[in-house]
Structure 1
Amino acid sequence: MGKNLIPPSGGDDHVETVDLKSALEERYLAYALSTIMHRALPDVRDGLKPVHRRIMHAMRLLRLNPGSSYAKCARIVGDVMGKFHPHGDASIYDALVRLAQDFAVRYPLVDGQGNFGNIDGDNAAAMRYTEARMTEVASLLLEGITENAIDFRPTYNEEDLEPVVLPGAFPNLLANGSSGIAVGMATNIPPHNVAELCDAALLLIRNPQASVEELVQLVPGPDLPTGGILVEPKENILEAYRTGRGAFRVRAKWEKEDLGRGTWVVVVTEIPYQVQKSRLIEKIAELLLAKKLPLLDDIRDESAEDIRIVLEPKNRSVDPELLMESLFKLTELENRVSLNMNVLSHGKVPNVLSLGGVLQEWLEHRKEVLLRRSQYRLEEIEKRLEILGGYLIAYLNLDEVIRIIREEDEPKQELMRTFSLTDMQAESILNMRLRSLRKLEEFEIRKEFDGLTAEKAQLEELLGSEIKQWKAISGEIKKVRETYGPETPLGKRRTQFAEAPSHDLEDIHQAMIEREPVTIVVSEKGWMRAMKGHLPDFSALSFKEGDKLKLAFHAETTDKIVVATTGGKFFTIGANTLPGGRGHGEPIRIMVDMDNDQDILSAFVHDASAKLLLASHEGYGFMINESEVIANTRKGKQIMNVKLPDEMKICQRITGDTIAVVGENRKMLVFPLAELPELSRGKGVRLQKYKDGGISDIRTFAIDQGLTWQDSADRTFTRSKDELQEWTADRATAGRMVPKGFPRTGKFTS
């Protein structure tokens, strides 16, 4: 029988009523603080999160120094988990692996042996197969840890001690970067070049008030492990470092490789930071299959140790710059590396710091470490000098000392009384070995005594002078700069700077679309589709019941289709985005935000060089450049201002120099096009005057060639310039009755 979960009678004696809101607030706050302080945010002083700090400390205790032999990662992870970090082994091993990956960390802290993963995104081998030890950089971070440079605290089970922060003789936070998501806050710091950081730190020592502009001259931007080209404008970089928040655009490094006879390929040799190469190539291959990259023919991965991605163009006439721009737009060959310098300031307070702020706090930490190490060394020297003083007394009175030790019952007390020795001096004399009584030993002791006395004087001078302290810190920083300078393989800058080439966005957009002929079909009820090919005959087109053809025209998939509505609005739709011709298409109201009380007036292929004539039913109109009507959003662009019951009735391309306008009252007026204003938006001016009714049709033509129209029997009529004199008058006049033979419909085309 299962366990009875119902408490016995009186079981509510120990029930405590808690307000749910306050309980949740209190517990969530505790969780949030734990995540912020002990998991996600790095300490500004050593640039490490607790898990990384514990790994470094455990490796030091295992004596896995740079010159020593490797130890199994399972051993390291076991020590970290058992003694310091009560979490899963997988999370500890993942952190250890990342510290060894030279494509993830700019200056690795762990020297790994075995499979530690690769830039393709493959995982490392299991921890039982891999081995590790510390690098020189890790040694720098730990330098002075045994000399009281930092505080220790009890571990989670209070059996051991762990460092609160590492001494950090290496500017690790900015040099290796960090990323983490806490509760309500996150951090993301890309890696930088350590030689540049050292130069900036030395400038801050000389001038603590140095501006961000001066620092950015020395630290021009991130230096990413995988290289690449930084194409962010300088003012954006400056602003990011001033505020501690921003982003950097990083592009892959590429070059055009000639294959002879005019053929060429593009070879990508460096990819942006934190982009998985295999995933990147898969994505490009998918876009290639989906015909989203018409300039590209094929992609191959020829990488070995170095990255080599080969991109084959469609043909030799393709512009390589344009090909790459289209790839940068659609793929992770261009990536944004964000900057959010949210760190634990002084190890306690989460704070977003500027570039100067981070370096300043690191320098303050280095000063504290220097003072603590110097004080520790001074105390050690004083202890040693005390012992050496006792030794010298013993050597000067050797026979008496031996006599006391041999004959006295309490030699320690007797020695202290006879020679005025301290407890420590008497103890050290009693602990001396017989072999150290040789003649030369006195000389060695005097030499050591003099040397330590001189060192003590120097340390006292250092502790008493801030100038000397900063000089000592400068010396340490210069040493780091020398070790990882720009001429060293590890210190050489990998990420280069360039300005992104300014290509016309329209050209790039065109380069992303496969150019194919299509026929655009618009129905009376506003359904649109794009049929493949240029259909010669529109009569065979099928529509939904009760619907019919409104207009159809030929286009290319790279064209922009402009749709004008009766409400005076214009919408722009890419021909490649229209639904295919298998069904009846889709209603235009799904594609754009078109009002329900408006209908499609006209649709046509955009021609930036053309001009349009717009006219409303009440007889107002104006000219506009066709490039002005292009809308970049679903909302469209209001061009002609009309209020119901008036609406836009005519939208046509202008040809010639004269306008003929016909009203519903069958009166026609001809006037020069020059009398019509060119606007970018508005109501327009009156074209023709009506007592009642409105406009019927408009035609623009060249006056020298005359006005032509067709009647219902398809007969063509033409009136010359002289014959049109009767109807030629100023704009906004009433006009005269239409000439003989004009169609009954009141339109220039029957």
Structure 2
Amino acid sequence: MFCMVKVIDPPPENGIENVELKDALERRYLDYALSTIMHRALPDARDGLKPVHRRILYGMRLLRLDPGTPFKKSAKVVGDVMGSFHPHGDTAIYDALVRLAQDFSSRYPLVEGQGNFGNIDGDGPAAHRYTEARLTEVARLLLTGIDNDTVDFRPTYDGSDEEPTVLPAAFPNLLANGAQGIAVGMATSIPPHNVAELCDASLYLITHPKATSEQLLNFVKGPDFPTGGIIVDGPTTIAEAYRTGRGGFRVRARWHREDTGRGTWVAVVTEIPYMVPKGRLIEKIADLLNEKKLPLVADVRDESAADVRIVFEPRSRTVDDAVMMESLFRLTELESRIPLNLNVLTAGRVPRVLGLAEALREWVDHRRDVLQRGANHRLGVIGRRLEVLGGLLIVYLDLDRVIRIIREEDEPKGELMRAFELTEIQANAILDTRLRALRKLEEMELKREQSGLIAEKDELLALIGSERAQWNKVSAEIRDLRKTFGPATALGKRRTDYAEAPEAAALDLAEAMVEREPITVVVSEKGWIRALKGHVADTGALQFKGDDRLAIAFPTETTAKILVVAGNGKIFTLDAAKLPGGRGFGDPIRIMVDIDEGAEVVATFPYRPGEKLLLSTTDGRGFVAPADDIVANTRKGKQVLVVDAPAKLALCVPAEGDHVAIVGQNRKLVIFPTVQMPEMSRGKGVRLQRYRDGGVSDAKVFNLADGLTWKDTSGRTWTVIATDLTEWIGNRAEAGRLPPKGFPRNNKFG
């Protein structure tokens, strides 16, 4: 059996070795990339910490900066951590420590600071020589049990000491506090979450090991930011983000309206999105105001003290508060997107993007491993103590002989081992015991301690031997954690809520600036349009250009939309506020929208949300269309009724009722139920009435119970009751018969 061995030439005698530059650069860059990923940018999935944070907490523990103890200078902490564990600059260490202490950056701060640690405005902290720090209760939970061989240790950078590779983490810090980091070729972005919800999800995951991220979302609503705010993403988007570990969350500021008297009001923002400095936010809003890009806002004031309070004053009292805030959400950082990229180190060394269920599984599995290692460590301690106690109980009955051996023998340890059949550990324990303590030994006290340790040993052996018992123990610890940080506590109460944002298309800033006033829209036969102020009932005095005449006039408001129906089946939309005034003849509709050559304006009327319209061609084909679906957003309009030449769109009338009355140019009338017509947003439609010659003249939708009404040429109103309409009621696409007596000769319902 042979193997290939690469022979490496020894370096030349002058000590200079030739190396390929490409290979050297690749190797060094790979080393740098791995170092950045493993030791700087990505957190460990088990304790949610990067090495710098872990070293800060461990260093502070060695300085005995536990909760409730006196503070020590941050400079002391930074110096000890830099000298013993973290061979980087003091600025990097102090910046990390500051972030752990800021209650607007960390959902559950790990460091309690005293002094200036910065603020939500974006102001930096004081130098580390001026501030003081100590650990919080959350940090204590992360470190609990670290002396009991629950985690592995590794040599520090200079080999003079040891540091933990991971903390025991009796707190789900990865998701509770989140993490941010940029490595080489990868990054991580984990928003903070509510601990009580994470505990509930973890308990469910322990009892249902195959639970999916979607199932765990019954417990974890989503991120819970320290600065509060409102998440406006839908459940589907949130579920997909947690399933894949990648996504994002749209977070909006929390605001409310405050009335200031005499019909005036202001909008007050009390919570801003996570990681948005308030000072920068207000500065950018002020810039937008100066550039006149916020037409609905007159002024912005920062009235914040301990709490956030940003006041927005509207341009006028008629401005809608919701529309004004929507404009601010669209143009400023009052709405921001918080990314989710759950990229972490699994098993402390493998970068992976995890879903919600996988991330919690990493933590609960780690807690079980910590429990097992702690139990084994405690068994070792108990075993050594029981061995010592056994020796003490043996020599207790003959203390005088023990004292004599110690005083007279040259090698008392060996003699004690021989005389009392002791182990070396037992003999050393006796020799290390002070004479005063040895004489005060009491047999009952020793036996009581021995019995207690034996019982504890049996419990630990049962725990180690039962997987179910281990999970029960982990579950009990998680329940205790939930009680400590439950929804009833100030720190555990959820701060971020959820709501649905209005559709972006619903916000029109130009329309929002228009004050609502009554107007009368006038359209001439040649397609000229204008708007008169107020509701004008008498249109007889209106003047028109040349031989043009009035076609239609109707009352509406400046905030309305005007629908223009063309003969080619297209519908166009005009803003009533943009119509020319009534002092002149107006402007042609054709210069406002792109109506095709040869297409005439068939109808003009105000858009009413929720209304339904009956559309028909000259050859009697049509359907019912919802008005909400035919509003056009561009000058080119929207093709609604598909027309085959030479036919044209002839009618567009309201469709409110249960029956349709349609009359042709041949003066034939047919009435049929509206259910026989389809409702659609676009199409050719169906045959409404059959003609041998000519086409449709007019149509009307009405309620049969109210009877069919029309106006004659003299302006009189005629009504035919339902029982008298029997001979005209039929089915769609029938020819019909001559109308009742008194129907106008122009074949119009009036």
TM-score (norm 1): 0.69
Per the alignment, in what secondary structure is the counterpart of residue 491 of structure 1?
Answer: coil
Mapping 1:534-545, distance limit 5 Å:
none
Residue aligning to 1:422: 423
User: Relative to 1, partners in 2 of residues 1:469 and 1:681: Cα closer, same or farther, differing over 3 Å?
Assistant: closer
Residue aligning to 1:16: 18
Residue aligning to 1:510: 510
Per the alignment, in what secondary structure is the counterpart of residue 214 of structure 2?
Answer: helix
Identity of matched residues, %: 61
CA–CA separation in structure 2 for the residues paired with 1:240 and 1:75 = 42
Residue aligning to 1:257: 258
For residues 120-154 of structure 1, the C-alpha deviation after alignment (integer angstroms, 9 at most, x for no partner) is 00000011100000000000000011110101101
Per the alignment, in what secondary structure is the counterpart of residue 217 of structure 1?
Answer: coil
Mapping 1:473-488, distance limit 5 Å:
473-488=474-489
Residue 230 of structure 1 deviates from its aligned partner by 1.5
Residue aligning to 2:210: 209
CA–CA separation in structure 1 for the residues paired with 2:458 and 2:15 = 71
Question: AA paired with 1:138?
Answer: A
Q: Does the aligned pair in 2 maintain the 1:117–1:124 contact within 8 Å?
A: yes
CA–CA separation in structure 2 for the residues paired with 1:331 and 1:165 = 40
Residue 313 of structure 1 deviates from its aligned partner by 1.5
Question: AA paired with 2:279?
Answer: S
User: Relative to 1, partners in 2 of residues 1:632 and 1:19: Cα closer, same or farther, differing over 3 Å?
Assistant: farther
CA–CA separation in structure 2 for the residues paired with 1:153 and 1:291 = 60
For residues 231-275 of structure 1, the C-alpha deviation after alignment (integer angstroms, 9 at most, x for no partner) is 111111111111111111111111111223222211111111111
For residues 697-745 of structure 1, the C-alpha deviation after alignment (integer angstroms, 9 at most, x for no partner) is xxxxx99xxxxxxxxxxxxxxxxxxxxxxxxxxxxxxxxxxxxxxxxxx
CA–CA separation in structure 2 for the residues paired with 1:186 and 1:572 = 48
Per the alignment, in what secondary structure is the counterpart of residue 149 of structure 1?
Answer: coil
Question: AA paired with 1:354?
Answer: G
For residues 168-194 of structure 1, the C-alpha deviation after alignment (integer angstroms, 9 at most, x for no partner) is 000000000001111111111110000
For residues 526-554 of structure 1, the C-alpha deviation after alignment (integer angstroms, 9 at most, x for no partner) is xxxxxxxxxxxxxxxxxxxxxxxxxxxxx
Residue 571 of structure 1 deviates from its aligned partner by 14
For residues 187-212 of structure 1, the C-alpha deviation after alignment (integer angstroms, 9 at most, x for no partner) is 11110000110111111111111232
Residue 630 of structure 1 deviates from its aligned partner by 5.8
CA–CA separation in structure 1 for the residues paired with 2:17 and 2:637 = 66
Unaligned runs of at least 5 residues, structure 1: 1-9, 516-556, 561-568, 577-605, 612-623, 641-652, 658-678, 683-701, 704-750
Question: AA paired with 1:256?
Answer: R
Per the alignment, in what secondary structure is the counterpart of residue 85 of structure 1?
Answer: coil
Mapping 1:58-457, distance limit 5 Å:
58-439=59-440, 441-457=442-458
Per the alignment, in what secondary structure is the counterpart of residue 146 of structure 1?
Answer: helix
Question: AA paired with 1:391?
Answer: L
User: Relative to 1, partners in 2 of residues 1:511 and 1:304: Cα closer, same or farther, differing over 3 Å?
Assistant: farther
For residues 487-543 of structure 1, the C-alpha deviation after alignment (integer angstroms, 9 at most, x for no partner) is 11111111112222x36725434367799xxxxxxxxxxxxxxxxxxxxxxxxxxxx
Question: AA paired with 1:510?
Answer: A
CA–CA separation in structure 2 for the residues paired with 1:630 and 1:59 = 65
More deviation, 281-290/117-126 = 281-290
Per the alignment, in what secondary structure is the counterpart of residue 82 of structure 2?
Answer: helix
More deviation, 417-426/393-402 = 393-402
Residue aligning to 2:42: 41
Residue 632 of structure 1 deviates from its aligned partner by 7.6
CA–CA separation in structure 2 for the residues paired with 1:656 and 1:451 = 93
CA–CA separation in structure 2 for the residues paired with 1:204 and 1:322 = 43
Q: Alignment length, in residue pairs?
A: 590
CA–CA separation in structure 2 for the residues paired with 1:284 and 1:394 = 83
Q: Does the aligned pair in 1 maintain the 2:319–2:513 contact within 8 Å?
A: no
CA–CA separation in structure 1 for the residues paired with 2:216 and 2:652 = 63
CA–CA separation in structure 2 for the residues paired with 1:163 and 1:434 = 40
For residues 20-66 of structure 1, the C-alpha deviation after alignment (integer angstroms, 9 at most, x for no partner) is 2x333322222211111111100000000011001111101111111
Residue 77 of structure 1 deviates from its aligned partner by 0.8
Question: AA paired with 1:320?
Answer: D
User: Relative to 1, partners in 2 of residues 1:680 and 1:216: Cα closer, same or farther, differing over 3 Å?
Assistant: closer
For residues 618-655 of structure 1, the C-alpha deviation after alignment (integer angstroms, 9 at most, x for no partner) is xxxxxx9999796789xx99989xxxxxxxxxxxx999
Per the alignment, in what secondary structure is the counterpart of residue 268 of structure 2?
Answer: strand
CA–CA separation in structure 2 for the residues paired with 1:388 and 1:486 = 47
Question: AA paired with 1:16?
Answer: N
Per the alignment, in what secondary structure is the counterpart of residue 119 of structure 1?
Answer: coil
CA–CA separation in structure 1 for the residues paired with 2:296 and 2:412 = 96
CA–CA separation in structure 2 for the residues paired with 1:173 and 1:573 = 54
CA–CA separation in structure 2 for the residues paired with 1:449 and 1:13 = 67
More deviation, 315-324/172-181 = 315-324
Residue aligning to 1:29: 30
User: Relative to 1, partners in 2 of residues 1:607 and 1:224: Cα closer, same or farther, differing over 3 Å?
Assistant: farther
Per the alignment, in what secondary structure is the counterpart of residue 310 of structure 1?
Answer: strand
Mapping 1:619-630, distance limit 5 Å:
none
Question: AA paired with 1:65?
Answer: D
Residue aligning to 1:664: none
Q: Does the aligned pair in 2 maintain the 1:513–1:558 contact within 8 Å?
A: no
Per the alignment, in what secondary structure is the counterpart of residue 95 of structure 1?
Answer: helix
Residue 426 of structure 1 deviates from its aligned partner by 0.6
Residue 394 of structure 1 deviates from its aligned partner by 1.4
Question: AA paired with 1:339?
Answer: L
User: Relative to 1, partners in 2 of residues 1:374 and 1:681: Cα closer, same or farther, differing over 3 Å?
Assistant: closer
CA–CA separation in structure 2 for the residues paired with 1:656 and 1:228 = 47
For residues 253-311 of structure 1, the C-alpha deviation after alignment (integer angstroms, 9 at most, x for no partner) is 11111223222211111111111111111222222222222221211111100111111
CA–CA separation in structure 1 for the residues paired with 2:13 and 2:78 = 45
Residue 416 of structure 1 deviates from its aligned partner by 0.6
CA–CA separation in structure 1 for the residues paired with 2:92 and 2:637 = 53
CA–CA separation in structure 2 for the residues paired with 1:438 and 1:13 = 71
CA–CA separation in structure 1 for the residues paired with 2:422 and 2:511 = 91
CA–CA separation in structure 2 for the residues paired with 1:218 and 1:37 = 32
Q: Does the aligned pair in 2 maintain the 1:607–1:627 contact within 8 Å?
A: no
User: Relative to 1, partners in 2 of residues 1:419 and 1:133: Cα closer, same or farther, differing over 3 Å?
Assistant: same
Residue 681 of structure 1 deviates from its aligned partner by 11
CA–CA separation in structure 1 for the residues paired with 2:274 and 2:315 = 28
Q: Does the aligned pair in 2 maintain the 1:326–1:512 contact within 8 Å?
A: no
CA–CA separation in structure 1 for the residues paired with 2:36 and 2:240 = 29
User: Relative to 1, partners in 2 of residues 1:441 and 1:265: Cα closer, same or farther, differing over 3 Å?
Assistant: same
Q: Does the aligned pair in 2 maintain the 1:608–1:627 contact within 8 Å?
A: no
Q: Does the aligned pair in 1 maintain the 2:141–2:171 contact within 8 Å?
A: yes
Question: AA paired with 1:154?
Answer: P
CA–CA separation in structure 2 for the residues paired with 1:17 and 1:189 = 42
Q: Does the aligned pair in 2 maintain the 1:71–1:131 contact within 8 Å?
A: yes
CA–CA separation in structure 2 for the residues paired with 1:370 and 1:512 = 62
Per the alignment, in what secondary structure is the counterpart of residue 339 of structure 1?
Answer: strand
Residue 408 of structure 1 deviates from its aligned partner by 1.8
CA–CA separation in structure 2 for the residues paired with 1:608 and 1:40 = 59
Per the alignment, in what secondary structure is the counterpart of residue 44 of structure 2?
Answer: coil
Q: Does the aligned pair in 2 maintain the 1:639–1:680 contact within 8 Å?
A: no
Question: AA paired with 1:400?
Answer: R
Residue aligning to 1:7: none
Residue 214 of structure 1 deviates from its aligned partner by 2.4
Q: Does the aligned pair in 2 maintain the 1:251–1:328 contact within 8 Å?
A: yes
TM-score (norm 2): 0.69
Computed over aligned residues only, the root mean square deviation of the Cα atoms, in angstroms, reads 4.7
Q: Does the aligned pair in 2 maintain the 1:325–1:508 contact within 8 Å?
A: no
CA–CA separation in structure 1 for the residues paired with 2:681 and 2:24 = 62
Residue 443 of structure 1 deviates from its aligned partner by 2.7
CA–CA separation in structure 1 for the residues paired with 2:276 and 2:19 = 52
